[in-house]
Amino acid sequence: MSDVVISINNLSKNFHTAAGEKAALKNVSLQVERGECLVIGGENGSGKSVLMSIIAGLMEGDQADSVKVNERVGLVFQEAETQILGETPAEDIAFGPKNLGWSKQEVQAAVEGALAQTGLTDKADFPARFLSGGEKRRLAVACMLAMKLPTIILDEPYANLDFGGVRQVNALIRQLKADGKTVLILTHELEKCLGLADRFVVLFRGEKVFDGSPAQGLEQKLEEWNIRNPLTSYNSLKDLVWE
């Protein structure tokens, strides 16, 4: 029996602009099961970030009843440093649990656990602003783990990262999967992570144009949706993960 944690039915989102209404999403339907690792691909402006903002509760769709989320969701923005509120990783991770009213002992345990899970224990008291790009994304995820959020959304997690940073993020994604977390990855850089996915969805001009396995996705004419097929440079699906 499936365990659906996110259910989206005919979701649309229109924005009012000076030039008139602009459709960001058009009748998108999607279901995500608990523990699934889903890669959502699409060019810039395809609607990926709008869709994830709605799932995370930061924005509403045009139909109030079109999205049902059955567990708490954390969203890591493309610019992860905008989410850093503490002077150090330890302070930053503690912010959420403290605001939830947890006891001092509970907060400390949550901080230590999240630091360990994301490999940041040795950076606990390091100035957060001096962390690398990969470390800042890991810190953002650590904050969500500390609050025991079961679903994590990563919006363009490889933006502006070098090879080492990409490897750090992918190692973290592997750990999240091993821990049974539901992981949604929004990216156009399929060569870096598609090999980690259980499922692959493509958005194009606000519409869902593909939903299936990563292997099936690579058989599509991705260029028609302005996505570069990574098999032009790599040999097979198993090669599509930087590690």
DSSP-assigned beta bridge partners for residue 15: 22
* Residue tagged active-site, from 33, 43, 79, 156: 156
- Where does the pLDDT of residue 192 fall: very low under 50, low under 70, confident under 90, or very high at 90 and above? very high
Q: How open is the CA angle 89-80-68, to the nearest 5 degrees?
A: 110
8 A C-beta contact, residue 216 and residue 54: no
Res 160: pLDDT: 86
Of 82, 78, 232, the C-alpha closest to 158 is 78
For residue range 131-185, what is the model confidence (pLDDT) as tens digits?
A: 998 899 899 999 999 999 999 999 998 988 899 989 989 999 999 999 999 999 9
Tell me what pLDDT residue 63 has. 87
Q: Which residue has the higher pLDDT, 223 or 17?
A: 223
Instruction: Give the Cα separation of 79 and 93 in Å (integer).
Output: 17
Convert the pLDDT of each residue in 46-69 to its tens digit: 999 999 999 999 999 998 789 999
**Given this model, what pLDDT does residue 38 score?**
98
* pLDDT tops 90 at residue 82: no
Question: With bands split at pLDDT 50, 70 and 90, how would you rate the model's confidence at 2?
Answer: low
Strand order in the sheet with 4-17: 20-33, 4-17, 67-69
Please provide the size of the chain in residues.
243
What DSSP element (H or E) covers 74?
Answer: strand 73-76
CA distance 28 to 63: 12
pLDDT class for 1, splitting at 50, 70, 90?
very low
Structure tokens that stand for 163 in this block: 């090879």
Q: Is residue 237 pLDDT above 50, yes or no?
A: yes
pLDDT, residue 159, reads 87
In whole angstroms, what is the distance from residue 115 CA to residue 203 CA? 34
Mean pLDDT over all residues of the chain? 93
Burial of 208 (0-12, 13-18, 19+ CB in 10 A): buried
pLDDT value for 206: 96
What 3-state class would DSSP assign to 193? coil
Residue 43 among the catalytic residues: no
The phi and psi torsions of 36 (rounded to 5 degrees) equal -80, 145
Q: Please report, in angstroms and rounded to a whole number, the separation of the first and last CA atoms in the chain.
A: 33
- Give the distance from CA 68 to its chain's centroid: 18
Residues contacting 235, CB < 8 A, separation 6+: none
Condensed to tens digits (0 to 9), the pLDDT of residues 95-118 reads: 999 999 999 999 999 999 999 999
Q: How many helices (H) and strands (E) does the chain have?
A: 6, 9
